[in-house]
Amino acid sequence: MNKEKKILSTLMVIVMVGLGVALSGCVEEEEVNKIIVGTSADFAPFEYTDASGNIIGFDIEMVTTILENLNYTVEVKDIGFDSLIPSLQAETIDVIAAAMTITEEREEQIDFSIPYYEADQSVLIKKGSDVEINESHNLENFTASIANLTIGAQTGTTGAGWVQENLIDTELMDEANLKLYDLYIDAVADLDIGPARLDAIILDLPVAQAFAEDSGREVAYTIITGESYGLGVREGETELLNNINAELNEFMLSEEWTTLITKYFE
Residues engaged in binding ligand ARG (CB under 6 A) = 40, 42-43, 47, 81, 98-101, 154, 157-158, 184, 204, 227
Contact call for residues 177 and 150 (beta carbons, < 8 A): yes
The one-letter code for the residue type at 182 is D
Nearest to 98 by CA among 50, 51, 63: 63
Rounded to whole angstroms, the Cα distance separating 121 from 194 reads: 21
> Smallest distance, Å, CB 129 to ligand ARG?
24
Query: Which three-class secondary structure state does DSSP give residue 14?
Result: helix
Residue 42 or 94 with smaller CB distance to ligand ARG: 42
User: Beta strand pairing status for 232-233 and 95-96?
Assistant: antiparallel
Residue 154 Cβ vs ligand ARG, minimum distance, rounded to whole Å: 6
Q: Which CB sits closer to ligand ARG, 204 or 247?
A: 204
State in angstroms the smallest separation of the CB of 32 from ligand ARG: 28
Could you tell me which residues are beta bridge partners of residue 35?
74
Contacts of 240 (CB under 8 A, 6+ apart): 94, 95, 233
Report in angstroms how near the CB of residue 22 gets to ligand ARG at its nearest. Answer: 42
* Min dist. Cβ of residue 207 to ligand ARG (A): 8
Q: Name the minimum Å distance from CB 257 to ligand ARG.
A: 20
Closest CA to 102 of 219, 185, 225: 225
The residue among 154 and 166 lying less far from ligand ARG, judged by its C-beta, is 154
| Nearest CB to ligand ARG, comparing residues 145 and 228 | 228
Q: Buried b / exposed e across 98-127, counting CB within 10 Å, b at 16+? A: bbbbbeeebeeebbbbeebbebebbbbbbe
Residue 96 or 149 having the CB closest to ligand ARG: 96
In this complex, which beta carbon is closest to ligand ARG, that of residue 44 or of residue 146?
Answer: 44
